[in-house]
Chain A
Amino acid sequence: MKLTLRVWRQQNADAPGAMSTYEVDGISKDMSFLEMLDTLNEELIVKGDDPVAFDHDCREGICGACSLVINGDAHGPERTTTCQLHMRSFKDGDTIDIEPWRAAAFPVVKDLVVDRTAFDRIIQSGGYISAPTGSAPDAHATPVPKPDADFAFEHAECIGCGACVAACPNGSAMLFTSAKVNHLNVLPQGAPERESRVLDMVGQMDHEGFGGCTLTGECATACPKGIPLFSITHMNKEWLRANRKDKRTAS
């Protein structure tokens, strides 16, 4: 296949960026999207040009590093991560636009690489269960009903890639935050910190400059791991409940 790529190039966080056009040839349909970009970069390096910077690591769809907006869609046309997108989803002669995640809370580092440390700070604000090493009772001391365990797992699958934020017209991080809140809050082990967790994480999320949620649902459509939209409504209930309880304790 022969393709035309229009790629966002930006030297660093402070420099202005622009779309640049490149031609690539000899692309096989079995290549992954990132292998297609590897091909472009190999050519650029030999020519002495600056290769296109992009985040990637496991290339198995689980580490959450890869993060490209392809033809306007976070992770491109298939519901998967960028690294698991293959060139068989495109045709010979296509023009493909490639951009970084666009969100106020994810500033561009270079080209297609963005800074997602805001996500880490949301987790640091309460996305954990306080269980210092060595303090644990036997694993079978507290059975967890299977539906609860499955619910926790379904939300724990989030890979923290940020596609939800990139897809959202408001740049909201509600799906990411709710996935972690719901994973931990449904488990008996997470119950003691249930209220503080949701209040603190939502507080941090707002503090980081993510937009508000208007339930447009783009996040859940873009999510490569299928975190469902009801995750957000579920967290909203947790938040209201925690607020009520918080007020009771305060009064």
Chain B
Amino acid sequence: MSAFAEYAVGEPVVDDKAPAGPIAERWDTRRFQAKLVNPANRRKHTVIVVGTGLAGGAAGATLAEQGYHVVQFCYQDSPRRAHSIAAQGGINAAKNYRNDGDSVHRLFYDTVKGGDFRARESNVHRLAQISVEIIDQCVAQGVPFAREYGGLLDTRSFGGVQVSRTFYARGQTGQQLLLGAYQALSRQIAAGNVEMHPRTEMLDLIVVDGRARGIVARDLITGKIETYFADAVVLASGGYGNVFYLSTNAMNSNATAVWRAHRRGAYFANPCFTQIHPTCIPRTGDHQSKLTLMSESLRNDGRIWVPKAKGDTRPANEIPEDERDYYLERIYPSFGNLVPRDIASRAAKNVCDEGRGVGPGGQGVYLDFADAIKRMGKKKVEAKYGNLFDMYARITDEDPYKTPMRIYPAVHYTMGGLWVDYDLQTTVPGLFAIGEANFSDHGANRLGASALMQGLADGYFVLPSTINDYLARNPHKDEVSAEHPVVREVMSETEDRLARLLAVDGDRTPDSFHRELGEVMWEFCGMARSETGLRKALERIPQIRDEFWRRIKVPGTGEEFNQSLEKANRVVDYLELAELMCLDALHRAESCGGHFREESQTPDGEAERRDEEFSYAAAWEFTATGAAPVLHKEDLVFDYVHPTQRSYA
């Protein structure tokens, strides 16, 4: 029995920033109530932004446009390479250009329902309102969205909705939106308003007198560890899906910034809410270093099926139509192949568990375009999905125009993250979290094409409004310097941690530990979770952590470009975060969205929520490594969208 599971319940945590009143007016009200900083005074304020993805890039550019002095960081060699770049499918907006019944309220409703009633209504409504401005902003920046022959913007449908509200740029929407933000940021760098530090990784947060005042960061080229100070710190460092080792995240995406902030007092909310994306390319062997997503947009035209019979090893094209089970169309006739991601993933797992999976090891299902090619012709399919088909062919050496794609679910996104209020401020005053790094808008499951929407909403519009209020109310008269005792302490802790990693001189690589942890997490905290499994994981993780500190091997020194040291330091934080994820999954004895507890399902195997007990966001407070955290609950109140069992049948 792990002592970690003996957590205490503390005071509830409350969002006191969202104004009361009709939901459609709350954002306007908040913006009016928020104090402003005089434009002439803004340049005296420094804001640190960590990360340059959609949220961070947009925030850095916008804060600089407003006149703030921005100091920004990314671990990549260029801000243009943040992992938002890999998002494929699209971005939602309630423009209703199609006149198909869409509205801000419908996008709000779809998102709350899609998140299985575990998100905060005020935040989600604001997201839906802002969605329309994002498209305008991106078009003005020159983002080359897909257009129709009349010159107007094209849209498509995504999972969990029945309108066509997803704007896209072929299969590279994330790339194009990110380059838009990167270019806006570049303009501010050239103007001297943003001081950009590429190849620099945040290693800790500096909190002085209860307020976030700076960060400790390491120059990845020279290895030099330095301190940076500011009036506020914004974390836009992305999600923590790489805890699982294999995920669709970039290889170097990591949880260090958010985890270190958590250790310094920021509550971590709903860490167990992870999204397993249904359409990824299956793994080919133990050498696999990461997984590649095939955009959800493929489910617009592709049909998902497995053989009806168990152990049917015939090639796909030799299986006659009446021996195929188009299981999503069968179980969910009204949404068909476009059910939300959590449902599609679980259904794929179920048919594979029944022994009807296809491909090596039976870990795959077919995504078949034969009907689409018959209906629209190969040319049209190519125009819509060409780059995705090419990517698939390159990785698998199979031609998806001729044989159906094989797909399997993979870790893709994390809905959990640092707890933030309506202003996107964490429980550490002056520390903000935006984009995937926070927990705010997607509840227990994110709908497709909503991550790009949220990242840009937070970065372009929400944070630049709300941070004013904090800066106006907290003028920092006191200078913090590297000599401050708190700063010295944080600095020496960081130096000690890296020195210790280098000193162990064991016999196992950072990757070998990461892979071992990932296997535990995938098995016990993946698509289906149970009390027994989670308790096993909670026993296993501290053992791996102990072994890590006895056997880790990091060659080289800290005063040079050292990728093994970078990796080892990230694994240190995964080994702690993983434990919290399992505890959160264990304590939430209900199923909701991406969190499926085997003990809590309806007779037909759907997720069964238990609203009386669990209609809250779980915000965890750090105590010490390996020691039980404290749970603070934020009660979720639904005034506009009343919780029901989600039905996509």
Query: Which of B169-177, B473-481, B516-524 makes up part of the contact surface?
Result: B169-177
Other-chain contact of A146, B136, B151, B250 (Cβ < 8 Å)? B151
Asked if B133 and A57 sit within 8 Å, CB to CB, the answer is no
B198 touches A32 (CB 8 A): no
The one of B196, B464, B507 in contact with A133, judged by C-beta atoms closer than 8 angstroms, is: B464
| A117 at interface by CB-CB < 8 Å | yes
For residue A237, CB closer than 8 A to chain B, the reply is no
User: Is B314 located at the chain interface by the 8 A CB criterion?
Assistant: no
Instruction: Select the stretch in B2-10, B285-293, B530-538 that faces chain A.
Output: B285-293
Q: Is A23 an interface residue (CB 8 A)?
A: no
> Is B139 among interface residues, defined by CB-CB distance under 8 A?
yes
A246 contacts the other chain (CB 8 A) = no
| B residues contacting the other copy or chain, number (CB 8 A) | 83
Once the chains bind, are A128 and B184 in contact (CB under 8 Å)? yes
- Is there an interface contact between B81 and A57, defined as CB atoms closer than 8 Å? yes
Q: Is the CB of B142 within 8 A of A51?
A: no
Q: Among the listed A11, A113, A125, A187, which residue makes an inter-chain contact with B144, where contact means beta carbons less than 8 Å apart?
A: A187
A residues near B250, Cβ cutoff 8 Å: 57-59, 63
Contact A60 B86 (CB under 8 A): yes
Chain A residues near B129 (CB, 8 Å)?
none
Docked complex Cα distance between A145 and B288 (Å)? 43
Contact with A along B58-77 (1 / 0, CB 8 A): 10011001000000000011
Contact A124 B144 (CB under 8 A): no
State whether A86 touches B397 (Cβ < 8 A). yes
User: Which candidate, A39-47, A214-222, A228-236, is the interface stretch facing chain B?
Assistant: A39-47
Q: A171 at interface (Cβ–Cβ under 8 A)? A: no
Query: What's the nearest-Cβ distance from chain A to residue B151, in Å?
Result: 3
Q: Which residue of B lies closest to A30 (CB)?
A: B284
Least CB distance, A60 to chain B, in whole angstroms = 5
Task: Tell me the B141-157 residues at the A interface (CB within 8 Å).
Answer: 141-142, 144-153
Q: Which of B58, B81, B464 has the most CB of A within 10 A?
A: B81
- Which of A35, A45, A117, A129 is within 8 Å of B288, CB to CB? A35
Answer yes or no: B374 CB below 8 A from chain A CBs: no
Check B556 for interface membership: any CB of A closer than 8 A.
yes
Q: Contact string, B384-400, partner A, CB cutoff 8 A, digits 1/0?
A: 00000001001101000
Pick the residue among B81, B284, B287, B553 that contacts A63 (CB under 8 A). B81
Q: By the criterion CB–CB under 8 Å, are A149 and B144 in contact?
A: yes
> Please, which residue of chain A has its CB at the minimum distance from the CB of B175?
A62
Interface residues on A, range: 35 or more
Residue on B nearest A56 in the bound complex, by CB: B251
B563 is contacted by which of A53, A61, A119, A127 (Cβ under 8 Å)?
A: A53
Residue from the list A34, A39, A65 in contact with B76, Cβ < 8 A = A65
Query: How many contacts A-B (CB < 8 Å)?
Result: 218
Q: Given the complex, which residues of B lie within 8 Å of A120, measured CB to CB? A: 78-80, 186, 189, 196, 198
Shortest distance from the beta carbon of A92 to any chain B beta carbon, whole Å: 16
* Contact indicator B553/A50 (Cβ below 8 Å): no
- With contacts A30-B284, A59-B251, A184-B142 taken as known, whether A156 is within 8 angstroms of B83 at the C-beta atoms is no
Which listed residue (A28, A48, A58) contacts B85, Cβ 8 A?
Answer: A58
Q: B179 in the interface, Cβ–Cβ < 8 Å? A: yes
Q: Are A133 and B187 in contact (CB under 8 A)?
A: no
Q: How far is the CB of B47 from chain A (nearest CB, A)?
A: 15
Question: Is there a chain B Cβ closer than 8 Å to A22's Cβ?
Answer: no
Q: Are B153 and A139 in contact (CB under 8 A)?
A: yes
Q: How far is the CB of A232 from chain B (nearest CB, A)?
A: 20
Query: Which among A35, A65, A143 has the greatest number of chain B C-beta atoms within 10 A?
Result: A65
CB distance from B167 to the nearest CB of A (A): 8
Given A57-B250, A63-B86, verify A152-B152 contact (CB < 8 Å): no
Nearest CB in chain A: distance from B29 CB, A: 19
Closest to A115 in B: B77
Q: Does B252 contact A (CB under 8 A)?
A: yes
B295 smallest CB distance to A (angstroms): 11
Point out the residue from A30, A65, A124, A133 that lies within 8 Å of B77, measured CB to CB.
A65
* Chain A residues whose CB sits within 8 angstroms of the CB of B141 once the complex forms: 128-129, 131, 189
Known: A42-B511, A57-B250, A136-B136. A152 touches B142 (CB 8 A): yes
Give min CB distance, B462 to chain A, whole Å: 11
Query: When chains A and B are docked, how far (Å) is the Cα of A124 from the Cα of B188?
Result: 8
Q: Which residues of A (145-171) have their CB < 8 Å from a CB of B?
A: 145-146, 149, 152-153, 156-157, 159-160
| Inter-subunit contact A86/B183 (CB<8 Å) | no
Interface: A88 (CB within 8 A): yes
Inter-chain contact A117/B287, CB cutoff 8 Å: no
> Are the CB atoms of A60 and B140 closer together than 8 Å?
no
B555 x A133 contact (CB < 8 A): no
Q: Which residues of B contact A (CB under 8 A)?
A: 58, 61-62, 65, 76-81, 83, 85-86, 95, 97, 133, 135-142, 144-153, 169-170, 172, 175-176, 179, 182-184, 186-187, 189-190, 196, 198, 221, 248, 250-253, 284-285, 287-290, 292-293, 391, 394-395, 397, 460-461, 464, 507-509, 511-512, 553-556, 560-561, 563-564
Give the top 3 A-B pairs by smallest Cβ distance, nearest first: A143-B151, A128-B183, A136-B140
User: What would 6 more interface pairs be, CB under 8 Å, given A110-B561, A128-B183, A136-B139?
Assistant: A46-B507, A63-B81, A149-B151, A153-B169, A156-B169, A156-B176
Show 24 residue pairs from A and B whose CB-CB distance is below 8 angstroms, ordered by the A residue. Answer: A28-B284, A28-B285, A42-B511, A63-B86, A64-B78, A109-B561, A117-B78, A120-B79, A120-B196, A123-B182, A127-B186, A128-B142, A129-B142, A132-B62, A132-B65, A133-B58, A133-B461, A139-B139, A140-B153, A143-B152, A149-B146, A149-B147, A156-B176, A159-B175
